[in-house]
Amino acid sequence: MTLQRPRSFLHLQEAALRWAPKQLQELYELGPQLGRGGFGTVFSGTRLSDGSPVAIKYVARESVLQWHELPDGTRVPMEVVLMEKVGSGCHNVIRLLDWFEQPDSILLVMERPEQSQDLFDILRQQGVLCEEAARRLFCQVLEAVRHCTACGVLHRDIKPENLLVNPETGSLKLIDFGCGTFLQERVFTTFAGTRAYSPPEWICLGYYHGHAATVWSLGVLLYVMVCGCLPFQEDHDIVSGQLWFRQQVSPECQHLIRRCLSKHYVERPELEEVLRHPWVWGGRL
């Protein structure tokens, strides 16, 4: 069971200038394609006013998962609304700088940390992370999630592909709010995200709580960091909850992962409990 990047199911235009609106071209210089995911293609770019590096995400209009209606009746992509809500106060969350709406597409202009690559590629190159490296990154993910929660935002797709890491400095940023929504206390009955990171209650019962599902995804993420593979591949694996560690992992780290991956959502720790866990602080149980 190895890490594999999901195959894209969209066939987007390769020639960036073909879809870039004139207004964007006046403000930004488009560069090569950086990557392609299930819901969009990301290009490098430069802000002409000051030479700052940016990332420009192209999303076909029909691929926008959710729209949010403003009080004046204007419909705005939910991803834009969420990124504006979390856009300040935490350096571990990517910032939205600008956005453009086209008849057939949406373009998001974001900050682009130089020298960074997503955690998926780092894990693919290294296999696994030592626990000290995993801890440094995981703590930054926790801070990003805490900030999103404080802003009333549920990301719903926390995974290595959505974490940008600078290998030299170790700084991390949470990206891609395309699956996100507003946080609510009542249960969610629709799912957006990556199936392998979904909690068992969604698969069995068709609903989930935002906080508990987030903690589950954090447990999957930490397992992937220290073991180099997914803990569960198929739905029946997720539901059974049988967990094996394929690498040498400390008892403290195993304890945190097992708690986050508790089959019953009421038994999972709150985010603040995760932040206080001995492994997160580098201590022993």
Burial of 145 (0-12, 13-18, 19+ CB in 10 A): buried
Strand order in the sheet with 117-118: 117-118, 163-165, 172-174
Q: Which residues contribute to the annotated binding site for ATP?
A: 34-42, 57, 111, 118
Burial of 242 (0-12, 13-18, 19+ CB in 10 A): exposed
Cβ atoms 54, 47 nearer than 8 A = yes
Q: Which residues contribute to the annotated binding site?
A: 34-42, 57, 111, 118
Instruction: Tell me which residue has tokens 């803990």.
Output: 231
Catalytic site positions: 157
